[in-house]
Structure 1
């Protein structure tokens, strides 16, 4: 079976590794860019994605480039705690959660593909726009997927919800546990920070979010430069003692602007030897740290389904699940706790229990884990998607 993958991002490369592990020998990855460079900033890999990379034999490599997340904590815009929970091994998972530079992860996967499938398995400067002579074309070519456009011509640009994200990285002092991921906000603005390198210096990935001023520029382009003074003025008084947001913003070498966009759910992914994967299938708001994780899971399920000679099973398993997650992210997912806290106590509070009961917070967190597929018990009990050729 000849398989062509359009796109050498995280999803496409994981698909190549998964297909190879399942016994498919004729797999090539085509990347439109002439050179694969470590672009981007930080992302998170949740335990269900780390499980899949572990079963592909990449656990040791991943541990060397990632920071094992110890906790996730939400605060209001004054830095008052709303909710916190352990993450990864500390939360009882059999697999860690990692914060990692997206480009370093992509190069790790690329290196593994070239080792296992051969140096000719990845072809750069090769843009795939539709099916050719292969038995199966997998569109893993991102939010502006040419393969998706072939299947759904005239869809137009990704819809924007009126918010803008600014992303950067800054060397700074560790905060809280030193491996914490924090989100602070008031329902209108939000600031996220987490380390992606630790050691002599801590490299902190940060995201600042607020409503757009004017029209959304270049929807879906993560690499549009943004001015640090412009970002900083919107967060000038966000200093919490344990984290100095203005200093973190001003200390970055560069920042990038990205309007908050996604793609509407599709009624179908697979047509006559073509299917979609990752952002090409279900681009979603960067809420809940799920984008890369879901692409990795897509890749593993697709390889498993093909090994069972049941391509339709891939879509049966993945399309409803990712549609539910995409729609949940449009409602802010687990980050809705910051909005609720602001609505119920806009001037701040001393005790969150007086604003949002613990049981309500726990249900919001647990419900999202179930929707996204990383509820600890279900993840541990689920059979492996590995295939013995």
Structure 2
């Protein structure tokens, strides 16, 4: 059984590992000439790290991670704590896997190291995907035509495969953009920051957490904007731009933003939900299927869950059974991923409520929930085992 995975991001790498574990011969094609992963921090909740353990990469990932004891939600103007939720050992004991904070490059490197080099075709741009009753075909920019029993399109938010399968469908600007930066720990040691925190304010929120075993502070400062912002991990902000966007915020927030050296600015885009991800022998996975705003820290996690279920659905499948197996994969994942898209969007709206009765009601609601529950509301998704076939829709 032969598969081609298009795209060597987190989802594509996880899909490659998942399929290989079930006995598939997998070719991973990637358009860049070298394995690279830009970006900065990433949060991996127990629903994702549980899968990484099954893929035998959790130890390699955890070796470079930070493990927060808790998450703190705070008000924008004075930093007063609204509520906090347990993470750390309590979450690992409850959900059977750790909550990790990472640099994206460290996660990408650990996944890459687990894929045999001979399975990877770098500097390979896919220009078309076609299929017939017996096989699927990937055509590259050099004219090469690769044949397989299955093609997995993990080609990201700007997925060409999505348009080939389902027609013209553009990524949608979310109305939010963000500044991001990484600061050495010694630059902010005097601020006594929580290990993971989200500061909530009108039309804005500010998130920070440690990565790379606590050596670096990852900062994401999100703001609402009507102007469509460039979707780029490498576009630099103008000097001091981030400070003007967060005027009047708590002094600790402003000090972090002031001390940030290299600051990047990027627009946050999503994809409209799809009722199905697969056609015949070809399926979408990860952001190509369900790109979401990052306000529940579940984007990468959902791609990793896709990969786990894909491998499970195709275990022991014959060539003739691939289309039906992909139906089962989509059946088990579409509803859950679409629900997380909606939850993430709602979280963004809640985080950005204006000062006054709405924000006060939100804070009261959050505090009341925290008194009754050790873990965040999104933690209801952490305990669900993606490989439990009872989750089939």
Structure 1 length as normaliser, TM-score?
A: 0.85
Q: Give distance in 2, aligned partners of 1:99 and 1:358.
A: 26
Q: Residue 301 of structure 1: CA displacement?
A: 0.5
Task: Report the 3-state secondary structure (helix = DSSP H, G, I; strand = E; otherwise coil) of the residue aligned with 1:67.
Answer: coil
Following superposition, the deviation at residue 215 of structure 1 comes to 2.8
Q: Deviations over 1:325-362 (max 9, x none)?
A: 111222126x82x456944276x89xx65x76514885
- Residues in 2 aligned to 1:321 and 1:112: alpha-carbon distance in whole angstroms: 27
User: Residues of 1 paired with 2:120 and 2:192: CA distance?
Assistant: 40
User: Which residue of 1 is the match for residue 322 of structure 2?
Assistant: none
Cα contact 2:14–2:307 (8 A) shared by 1: yes
Which residue of structure 2 aligns with residue 170 of structure 1?
A: 183
Structure 2: 5+ residue runs without aligned partners?
131-136, 138-146, 318-324
After superposition, residues 1-389 of structure 1 pair within 5 angstroms as 1-24=1-24, 26-78=25-77, 79-91=79-91, 92-114=94-116, 119-129=117-127, 130-131=129-130, 132=137, 133-156=147-170, 158-171=171-184, 172-174=187-189, 180-198=195-213, 202-212=215-225, 215-219=227-231, 221-240=232-251, 244-309=252-317, 310-332=325-347, 336=350, 338-339=351-352, 342-344=355-357, 353=364, 358-359=368-369, 367-370=377-380, 373-375=381-383, 378-379=384-385, 383=388
Structure 1 contact 228–249 (Cα < 8 Å) conserved: no
Deviation at 1:29, TM superposition (A): 0.6
CA contact (8 A) 2:177 2:223 kept: yes
Question: Does the Cα contact within 8 Å between 2:296 and 2:343 map onto a contact in 1?
Answer: no
Tell me the CA shift for residue 236 of structure 1.
3.8
What is the alpha-carbon distance in structure 2 between the residues aligned to residue 364 and residue 148 of structure 1?
Answer: 39
The structure-2 alpha-carbon separation of the partners of 1:332 and 1:111, relative to structure 1 and needing over 3 Å to count, comes to same
CA RMSD of aligned residues (A): 2.9
CA distance 1:356–1:246, change in 2 (3 Å): closer
- Secondary structure of the structure 1 residue equivalent to 2:240: helix
- Matches of 2:190 and 2:328, distance apart in 1: 44
CA distance in 2, matches of 1:366, 1:204: 22
- Classify the secondary structure of the residue corresponding to 1:311: helix
Deviation track 1:62-110 (CA, whole Å, cap 9, x = no partner) reads 1211111221111111211112101143233321111101112111111
Alpha-carbon distance in structure 2 between the residues aligned to 1:68 and 1:140: 28
Contact 1:47/1:88 (8 A) holds in 2: no
**1:234 to partner: Cα distance:** 2.0
Gaps spanning 5+ residues in structure 1: where? Answer: none
Partner SS, residue 115 of structure 2: helix
Contact 2:48-2:302 within 8 A present in 1 as well: yes
Task: Give the 3 Å change call, closer, same or farther, for CA 368–216 of structure 1 in structure 2.
Answer: same
TM-score (norm 2): 0.84
Output one character per residue of 1:188-227: Cα deviation in whole Å (capped at 9) or x when no partner.
111100000346xx31001111122x631334x3222212
The Cα shift of 1:238 comes to 2.5
Could you say which residue in structure 1 is the equivalent of 2:320?
A: none
Aligned residues: 362
TM-aligned CA distance change 1:102 to 1:341, over 3 Å: same
Whole-Å Cα distance in 2 between the matches of residues 59 and 227 of structure 1?
38
CA distance in 2: counterparts of 1:109 and 1:146, whole angstroms = 24
Per-residue deviation, residues 7-43 of structure 1 (Å, max 9, x unmatched): 000010011111111111x201111111122421001
